[in-house]
């Protein structure tokens, strides 16, 4: 068995999953901060939350592109 390839795939999967969860969680947190009406907050927080959501969505679409064999042709 090719153990090095297995470790590489496991590492890439772990990194991708952690990155996706962090981006989405950061987007949710920034959206919550932007929605807080009691505090004065910078204007760039809500667009940054949308950027985090867009990056997490792009990561999901890229993962689907890699998995579905139809797109590999």
On the 0-12 / 13-18 / 19+ scale of CB atoms within 10 A, 27 is buried
* Whole-number pLDDT of residue 8: 94
CA angle, 39 as apex, 54 and 19 as ends, to 5°? 25
Q: What is the pLDDT of residues 16-36, one digit of tens each?
A: 999 999 999 999 999 999 988
* Domain range enclosing 27: 3-72
Q: What is the pTM of this model?
A: 0.83
| pLDDT reading at 15 higher than 90 | yes
d(CA 20, CA 56): 6
DSSP state of 44: T
Length of the chain (residues): 73
* Whole-number pLDDT of residue 54: 98
Total of domains in the chain:
1
């Amino acid at each position: 068995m090719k153990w090095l390839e297995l470790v590489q795939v496991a590492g890439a999967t772990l990194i991708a999953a952690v990155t996706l969860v962090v981006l989405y969680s950061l987007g949710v947190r920034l959206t919550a901060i932007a929605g807080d009406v009691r505090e004065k907050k910078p204007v760039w927080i809500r667009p940054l939350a949308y950027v985090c959501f867009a990056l997490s969505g792009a990561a999901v679409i890229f993962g689907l592109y890699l998995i579905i064999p139809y797109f590999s042709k």
